[in-house]
Chains A and B, each alone.
Chain A
C-alpha cells in the first residue's frame, strides 16, 4: 500500500515570505497530523484533523500558521509570513482513526524548510 506522501521535500525561502506544504495520507485514513521537528528535537504536534474537522490545534501558531483538509483527504499547511525560527522539518502522519488505543501513526518523508 502507498505510504503518506508529502511535497515538496525541500524548500528554501527568505523570512517574511510565505510557503505551503502538501500532504496526501494513506487511503482510508481518517486522521491526519502535522508535526514540526526542529533540529535536535523530537516531532511536536501542530494540528490534528479527523476527516475535515480540526481535533486539536492548540500548538499551532495561528498568527502565521494555517492548515486545512478540504474533503477530508489531502491537507495543506501554510506559513505566512515565515520567521527564521520556522526552519524545521514538517512531518505529516495519518492513522486509521483517532481515539483508539491500537492506532498506529504512519509518517511521511517530511518537508525540510530553511528560512534565511
Chain B
C-alpha cells in the first residue's frame, strides 16, 4: 500500500520568506505526484503535478516542486511567500497500477504580514 508523509504539521513564516514543504512517499511502482492547496473557506484545488519528464515542475502562484526519485520525495517550494499563501497544503500520490490517490496529512502554512 502506498503512503505519503509530510514533514511539517504547521509552518509559520513572514512575508517574503522562502518556503519549502517536505513530502516523502512509499510506493513500489511508477507514480504521479501532486500538491493540492486549500485556502481558508475554499475547496481543495490543484497547485501542481508531476507525471513524467523534467523533475522540476512549476505550478500556479509561483510554486514549484522537485521530484527526486532516489529519495522518494516531492518537495514544494516558493522563493518568496505572500500573506495570501496562508493555507493548508497537501501532498498526494497516485500509483499507476490502481490510480488511487493517497494524501498526506497536510501542512498548515501561516504567513504573517
Query: What residues of chain A have their CB less than 8 Å away from a CB belonging to chain B?
Result: 3-4, 33, 40-45, 48, 56, 91, 93, 98-99, 101-105, 107-110
Contact = CB atoms under 8 A, between A and B. Distances in A.
Contacts of A41: 105-106
Interface string B88-113: 00101000101111111110000000
Nearest to B38: A107
Interface in B59-107: 90, 92, 96, 98-106
Given A101-B51, A102-B51, A91 B44 contact: yes
Given A3-B43, A104-B46, A108-B43, A45 B100 contact: yes
21 contacts: A3-B43, A4-B43, A42-B102, A42-B105, A42-B106, A43-B44, A43-B103, A45-B101, A45-B102, A56-B100, A93-B44, A98-B99, A101-B51, A101-B96, A103-B99, A104-B46, A107-B36, A107-B43, A108-B43, A109-B43, A110-B43
